[in-house]
């Protein structure tokens, strides 16, 4: 358990990240069908096991014909509150997502078009972000200066075993292209290409292996054959027990319960540990973040080295 007292000297001292922990608690209300109506979240920020700050969030969910159509998020800080709206087509595919801020501004719009077979063919996204500096926000808190990020993705299904995705910027220029290759309904290889003007060049290739795990392990190499990313799993009694993800020099190890939910996350890049608890319906009720003990980091270091060596082979 942790204390609820604040230390009056905290603001006058400097602490390292390993002194800090966070505990996030969720309390849900469900409808008769078991869908979440309300999520009352409280997050405790602790410094050496003493609470220094508490934040509260209330998320309210609305449904229509069993589909989620709105999430209303009320934060302790009103400026961080927002509403998310969702719309679907006749086959229940998501076609529109909107984020509306506390001041009524729509800062995120995502529209998706589908063909007559139900395949996604076009996804357009527009995002507004506040480009003010911190000092500008303090000086004029109600004067928001937006910049716009706009992109769209085109999906081209060339055959049942092959399709491509192209991402374009607001000027209509292709920024990257991905080619997906399938066999027996599973993605076996993905090739990612970047563009320099109109010049197209291979960036990386990702290959999948389903021999151990039904959702696949994978490795990613760059155009010169050097490793970029890898994902591998460990099974126990035929169930997913542990997964290891590497990207460049980053390493994350996840542990799972018998239902496949993440119960522990070891983030070696920031030396942090995240532990998760769930209710009987499988919804997350607690997240505890704390510094990774030096002993655990050191014990896993050899494993990390072995993983990176394996990825290079």
Domain annotation covers residue 221: no
DSSP state of 11: G
User: Can you say whether residue 263 is alpha, beta or left, with left for phi > 0 and alpha for psi between -120 and 50 degrees?
Assistant: alpha
- Say what the pLDDT of residue 309 is: 58
Domain annotation covers residue 233: yes
Among 33, 57, 76, identify where a domain stops.
Answer: 76
**Is 19's pLDDT higher than 90?**
no
The pLDDT confidence band at residue 272, using thresholds 50, 70 and 90, is: very high
Domain count of the chain? 2
**Is 255's pLDDT higher than 50?**
yes
**Is 157's pLDDT higher than 50?**
yes
Domain annotation covers residue 63: yes
Q: What angle do CA 309, 312, 313 make, to 5 degrees?
A: 95
Domain annotation covers residue 52: yes
Which tens digits make up the pLDDT trace of 171-190?
888 999 999 999 998 999 99
Report how far residue 47's alpha carbon sits from residue 89's, in angstroms, rounded to the nearest whole number.
48
- Say what the pLDDT of residue 17 is: 61
Domain annotation covers residue 212: no
**Is 221's pLDDT higher than 60?**
yes
* Cα–chain center distance at 137: 27
Which pTM does this prediction carry?
A: 0.82
Domain that holds residue 39: 18-76
Domain annotation covers residue 65: yes
Among 31, 52, 76, identify where a domain stops.
Answer: 76
**Is 313's pLDDT higher than 60?**
no
Mean pLDDT of 281-299: 87
**Is 10's pLDDT higher than 60?**
no
**Is 2's pLDDT higher than 80?**
no
**Is 9's pLDDT higher than 50?**
no
Domain annotation covers residue 166: no
Domain annotation covers residue 10: no
Long-range (24+ apart) CB contacts under 8 A made by 27-32 are 27/285, 28/279, 28/281, 28/283, 28/285, 30/281, 31/63
Among 57, 76, 95, identify where a domain stops.
Answer: 76
Mean pLDDT of 32-52: 94
* In contact, 151 and 170? CB cutoff 8 Å: yes
């Amino acid at each position: 358990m942790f204390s609820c007292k604040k230390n009056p000297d905290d603001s006058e001292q400097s602490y390292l990240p390993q002194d800090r922990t966070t505990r996030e608690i969720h309390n849900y209300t469900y409808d008769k069908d078991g869908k979440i109506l309300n999520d009352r979240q409280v997050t405790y920020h602790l410094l050496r096991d003493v609470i220094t700050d508490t934040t509260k969030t209330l998320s309210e969910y609305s449904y229509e014909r069993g589909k989620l159509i709105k999430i209303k998020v009320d934060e302790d800080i009103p400026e961080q509150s927002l509403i998310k709206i969702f719309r679907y087509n006749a086959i229940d595919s998501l076609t529109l997502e909107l984020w509306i801020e506390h001041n009524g501004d729509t800062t995120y719009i995502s529209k998706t078009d589908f063909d007559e077979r139900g395949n996604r063919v076009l996804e357009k996204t527009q995002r507004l972000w506040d480009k003010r500096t911190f000092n500008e926000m303090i000086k004029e808190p109600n004067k928001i200066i937006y910049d716009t990020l706009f992109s769209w993705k085109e999906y081209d299904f060339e055959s049942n075993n092959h399709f491509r995705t192209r991402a374009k910027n607001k000027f209509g220029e292709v920024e990257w292209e991905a080619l997906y290759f399938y066999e027996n309904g599973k993605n076996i290889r993905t090739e990612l290409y970047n563009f320099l003007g109109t010049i197209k060049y291979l960036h990386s290739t990702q290959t999948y292996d389903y021999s151990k795990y039904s959702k696949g392990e994978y490795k990613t190499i760059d155009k010169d054959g050097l490793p970029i990313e890898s994902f591998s799993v460990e099974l126990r009694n035929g169930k997913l027990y542990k997964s290891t993800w590497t990207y460049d020099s980053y390493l994350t190890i996840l542990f799972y319960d018998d239902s496949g939910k993440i119960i522990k996350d070891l983030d070696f890049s920031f030396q942090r540990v995240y532990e998760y608890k769930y209710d009987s319906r499988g919804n997350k009720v607690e997240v505890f973040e704390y510094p990774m003990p030096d002993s655990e980091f050191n014990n896993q270091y050899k494993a990390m080295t072995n993983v990176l060596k394996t990825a290079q082979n």
